[in-house]
Amino acid sequence: MTKFSANLGFLWADLSLPDAIYAAKAAGFQAVECHWLYDEPVDKVKAALDATGLVMLGLNTRRGDVDNGENGLSALPDRTKDARAAIDEALHYAVAINARAIHVMAGFAQGVAAHDAFVSNLHYACDAASPHGIKILIEPLNHYDAPGYFLQETEQARDIIAQVGKPNIALMFDCYHVQLMEGDLTHRLSDLLPVIGHIQFASVPDRGAPIGGEINYPYIFEVISDLGYNAPLGAEYKPKGPTEKTLDWMTVFSR
């Protein structure tokens, strides 16, 4: 049976994070994940996770100065101090709630200096996270939603993972982003499986629930299962209306 994780950055976004965790449990999700949860009290989030038995699969490092358009810091050559502070903050929170992974956001940057900064900061993140058994994830974002984002394609991500060379760095393979940038999902999944640490999904092109659009998710989930990947898949889509009314897909896809 395919297992699913609720991305609470989008699902039940109208609720507090603890309440959203309870809602995800009631809806039948096997795990949860987040974007930026730093304004939520750690003790309340941990209590909700403990009460529901759900695992927090991952969280993102802060984006930086959002009002000035920042979307991550770790590939910005002149922001190393801030990038590492964001990594430290994410690690502190992840340890407190027993989260399994941290997505280190690259940010808007280009060129050799940006590449070198990202690799250096990923070394730092991996070394800091390793004693806690926490995985570091990097995620290519499509150039429609995030024009100018440093990390855009899976081959670029694989090269960076190889260059960092740490056992606890992996790829966050978001089917939505990969389909928009590269397509060929089944071959991409098979080829990249050794470096994949988490898989997310949403319909394309509207980033809605995974019914309709140009991706046949029942088939994709079957492919993922056949590859031997059995961790929960992250439902990172934008509900059109109340989240509960967008979950019909779970009944079909969980069989």
Q: Which residues are catalytic?
A: 139, 236
* CA–CA gap between residue 237 and residue 231 (Å, rounded): 18
Paired tokens of 46: 């941990």
CB 64 within 8 A of CB 79: yes
In the beta sheet, which residues pair with residue 201? 235
Backbone angles phi, psi at 15, to 5 degrees: -100, 160
Residues 6+ apart with CB under 8 A from 200: 7, 172, 173, 174, 175, 176, 233, 234, 235, 236
CA 34 centroid distance within chain: 8
